[in-house]
Each structure stands twice: as structure tokens, then as C-alpha cells.
Structure 1
Amino acid sequence: MHLIMILNALAVAWWLRSSWNQPQASWSLRWGRSLFLFLFPPLLIFMTAIAVLFMGPQGAMGGITGSVSYVVALIYMAFFAILCIKLAFQGWQSVESARKCPLVNLGDKRARLLQTGALFAGQIGFWQPELVVSQGLVQTLSPEHLESVLAHEQGHHYYRDTFWFFWLGWVRSCTAWLPNTEPLWEELLALRELRADGYAALQVDPLVLAESLLLVVSTSPVLSEICCAALGSSGAGDRLEQRIEALLAPPEPIAEAQLQSWHGFLLAFLPLVAVIFHS
């Protein structure tokens, strides 16, 4: 019975991920659907594994022992934990590397100055990230363009993108074998940047921000993307074109996440109900 639970969870997760296609809708609809299809399948698998572990290897449901499914669930949970520790360590290394950079004042903001000629600006850290800019960015951009870049990075700070996308990146690593993991991840990255662009466009000229974006994404990333939210993220190909078009178009309101939008995720906790009826 326990093995059937695991197989059912895997089948539902695979089916949901396979149903995704590139949406052409408003920001809020794209964000809600992409986040659900990205997060719900692994959450369902995770909850199923927890339920199987709680029921133990000596399951009595249907008269079938659950030792095999228990071992499978235990291995999968260990895999989740190891990946989390690995990503956390890599993120810590990124934070420590950023903290070695000297502090500078950029107007009313303080930032870490990265000694490189590449054009880079990003938030580095977890819940309370630090602004990191490169020497090349400060020397190359005009004060107006630099202000637009800092406004974009303030958007990442406001939405706590480094924190939330660390956990989403962990989910990405754990479920790389599911269909559409990479397209959904790229979609969420693009929507994250559109949200930060929208935040900045309320404070600076969108055209100036678009010009800054074209300059910054022309250079390769200089830091790991783990625990990092940078202006140039997801800037290749049609993603860059999409961001430029959004900046030049009339601003689209970006609604805050509503409680009811999370109701669908409660279905992922259904496997835990089986623990109550287990003997």
C-alpha cells in the first residue's frame, strides 16, 4: 500500500509537470500557474515520503509490509537533505566571498565593491542580502543609469528574492528528473526579473532602466547564482526581449500574493491523512 502511495504521487507529479506550456497571459496569472506547477509536484512527493516514514516499515494497510517503500522514502529524504546542505554551503561561500569586498557609498546606499571590470550588480545573501556592485559598473554607467540599476536591485531586496529563490533552487535540484523543470525555472527567473523591473520603473525612467539592462546583460555572470539576484539574471534571448518590451509598455500592476492563491497547495498534504488511518 505504501509503495502504491509513492507511485501515485510520482504519477501525479509527472502528469502535472507535463501539462505545462509557455503561457501568454498577465504577470500574476503566469506567476501563479508556473509557481504551482513548479512547486506542487515536489511538495506532493515530499509529503508522501514523510507519510511513509511516519507509518514505518511495518505497515499493516492491506496486509502488505512497507519495508521497501520505507527504504525508498528514506533514501529520497536523505537525497533532499544532502542537496540542501550542499546548496547552503555554496550559498554561504558566495556570501563570504561578497563580504570580503570593501564597502562603498553609492548615494544613500551602501554596497560591496567587486574588483572586476565586468558590469555586475546584484543582491547577495539570504533573508538580509547585501548589495554588490562591480568596479566596472560604477566606472562605466552614468549616474542616471546607475540609479536605475540600484532601483532594480532594491526591488529584489523588497521581495526577498535571494531567500525565496534559494529554496526554489533547492526544489529545482531535487526534481531535475521531472519534466519541464528547467523551462519552469527559467520562467520563474524571468518573472522575478519582470517584478523587480516593475518595482524599479515606479522610481526611475523605464527607458533608462532598459538601456542599463542592455549594457549589463551583455557581460557574463561573475558570481554564482545561488543566493544571488542580479540585474542580468535570465537575460538571454527572448527573456531579454520580453523584459525590454515590458519596460517600454504601459506598466502592468503586480499584485501581492493572496492567501487564497495558496489553497491549491493544501492538496499536497493529503498523503498525511493516511497516517491517521494507519495501524
Structure 2
Amino acid sequence: MHLMMILTALALAVGIRLIDSLCCYSMSRWQRSLIAFILPPLLLLMTAIAVISMGYHGEMLGFPASRFSYLLAIFFLIFALIRGLEITYQGWLSIQKLRNYPQKNINHHLARIININLPYSAQIGFWNSQLIISEGLLQTLDNEHLNAVIAHEQAHAHYHDTFWFFWLGWLKRISFWLPNTNALWQDLLLLREIRADQQAAQTVDPLTLAESLLMIAQAINHITTASPLGVVEAGFHDLGIDNRLEERINALFNESDYLRFEGIDWYFMLLTLLPLVSIPFHR
């Protein structure tokens, strides 16, 4: 019976990823992508926890428990724990590396300065992130456009994007084998940037922000390099995504409900707790 629980959870996880109609079309793109990304791995995690808590002795609804399903659940939880420790260590290394960069006051904002030619800015950290700006960015932009970039980075700090995407990154690592994991991840990264753009546009001219995007993109086209930091960053021009500039720029001047950024209804998350309901039926 426990194996049947695992197979059912797996089928639901795959189904949620494959059947787009499972998400209500009245939701925004952000809500739909977030639910489709989060729900499957959490459902699998809760199923594994339920199976382990019941053990491999006894029976449930007349069906005997199996050692195989118990070991399978343990393996998945150990795998998830290892990936969690791995991403935590990488994030810690990024923060330690950040402390080696000198601090400088840039337009009344304290920032760490990284000495690379790539025009680059990001928020680095977990809950309380720090602003990092490259020498290349300072050389590429004037004060007006630099202020627009900083406003974008302040929006990332406002939403604590580095913290939340750290956990989303962990879910990505443990569910990489599920359908559409990377596509949903890329969409969430893009939507994260659009949300920061829209927040920044409340304090700076949207046209200036759009110009900054284009100027940085043009400068980057002349430079080939990897993103200098890693799993706890949120940058103005994220090198890790397909930089769909046209979509970001259009979103700055588009007030469509499709791009609204409301929180998800948490009753969807209650679905992930359903496997725990089975525990009292184990004898």
C-alpha cells in the first residue's frame, strides 16, 4: 500500500507538470508557474515523510507495508537533504566571497564593488541581502541610469528574492527529473525580474529603466563571461536565463492582470499534506 502511495504521488506530480489545465486560468502567470513548480516536489517530500513515519511493519487498509517502499522514501529524503546541504554550502561560499569585495557609497547606497568589466549588479545573501555592483557597470551607465538599476536591485531586497529563490532552487535540484522543471524555473526567474522592474518603475522613470536594460545588454554582447556568484543572487541582467529583453521592456508599460504578482492561495499547498492524512490508517 505504501508503494501505491508513492506511485500515486508520483503520478500526480507528473500530471501537475504536464496538464496545464490543472491550474485555474483566472490565476496570474506568476501564480500558475509558482504552483506548478512547488506543488510536485512538496507532494513527493510529504509522501516520503508519511511512508517513513509509518515504517515497513504492519498494514494499511488491509495491504501490508513493504520494506522496498520504506527504503525508497528514505533514499529520496536523504537525496533531498544532500542537495539542500550542497546549495546551502554554495550559498555560504558566495557570501564569504562577497565579503572580500570593497564597499563604496554609490548614489547614497552602500554597495560591494567587484572589479570586472562585465556590467553587473545583483543582490547577494539570504534574508538580508547586500548590493553588489561591478566596475563595468559604473563605467557603462551614467548616474540617472545607474539609479534605475539600483532601484531594481532594491526591489529584489524588498521582496527578499534571494531568500525565497534559494528554497525554490533547492526544490529545483530535487525535482530536476520531473517534466518542465527547467522551463518553469526559467519562467520564474524572468517573472522575478519583471516584478522587480515594475516595483522599481514606481520610483524611477520606466523609460530610463528600459534604456538601462538595453545599454547593459549591448555591453554584455561584447563580453563573454560566467556569472561571478551563485545560488543566493538576484541580478539586474541575469546571465542564467534567456534574457527576453522585449518581454521585460513590454511588461514595464503593460498593466495586464496576466502579469500581476499576488501571493498564491495556500489551500493549494494543503494538498501536499494529504499523504500525512494516511498515517492514522496504518496499523
Q: TM-score range by the shorter chain?
A: over 0.9
Query: For residues 70 and 266 of structure 1, do their structure 2 counterparts lie closer, same or farther at Cα, with a shift above 3 Å needed?
Result: same
| Alignment length (residue pairs) | 274
Match of 1:270 in 2: 274
Mind listing any 5+ residue stretches in structure 2 that lack a counterpart?
A: none
Gap regions ≥5 residues in structure 1: none
Change in Cα spacing, 1:239 to 1:134, as seen in structure 2 (3 Å) is: same
In structure 2, the CA distance between the partners of 1:150 and 1:221, relative to structure 1 (3 Å rule), is: farther
**Structure 1 pair 237/7, CA: closer, same or farther in 2 (3 Å)?**
closer
**TM-score (norm: length of structure 1):** 0.92
| Structure-to-structure mapping, 1:133-212, within 5 angstroms | 133-212=133-212
Letter in 1 for 2:172: R
Is 1:257 aligned to residue 263 of structure 2? yes
**Using the alignment, how far apart are the partners of 1:276 and 1:250 within structure 2?**
49
- CA apart distance, 1:256: 4.1
1:34 aligned partner: 33
Partner-residue secondary structure (3-state), 1:77: helix
Q: In structure 2, do the counterparts of structure 1 residues 126 and 217 end up closer, same or farther at CA, with 3 Å as the change threshold?
A: farther
2:54 equivalent to 1:49: no
Change in Cα spacing, 1:195 to 1:10, as seen in structure 2 (3 Å) is: same
CA distance in 2: counterparts of 1:153 and 1:237, whole angstroms: 19
- Give the secondary structure class of the aligned counterpart of 1:179: coil
Q: C-alpha displacement at 1:176, in angstroms?
A: 0.6
Cα distance in 2, alignment partners of residues 63 and 225 from structure 1? 47
Aligned to 1:74: 74
Residue 251 of structure 2: which of 230, 246, 251 is its match? 246
Residue identity opposite 2:116 in structure 1 = T
Identity %: 46
The whole-number CA distance in structure 2 between the counterparts of 1:186 and 1:234 is 11
Q: Partner residue of 2:59? A: 60
In the other structure, the counterpart of 1:110 is: 110
CA distance in 2, matches of 1:235, 1:79: 25
Instruction: Name the CA shift for 1:34/1:59 in 2 (closer, same or farther; >3 Å).
Output: farther
TM-score, length basis structure 2: 0.91
Checking the alignment, whether the CA contact within 8 Å between 1:118 and 1:222 is kept in structure 2 is no
TM-fit CA distance, 1:228: 0.3
Per-residue CA deviation, residues 129-158 of structure 1 (Å, 9 max, x unaligned), is 100000111122100000000000000000
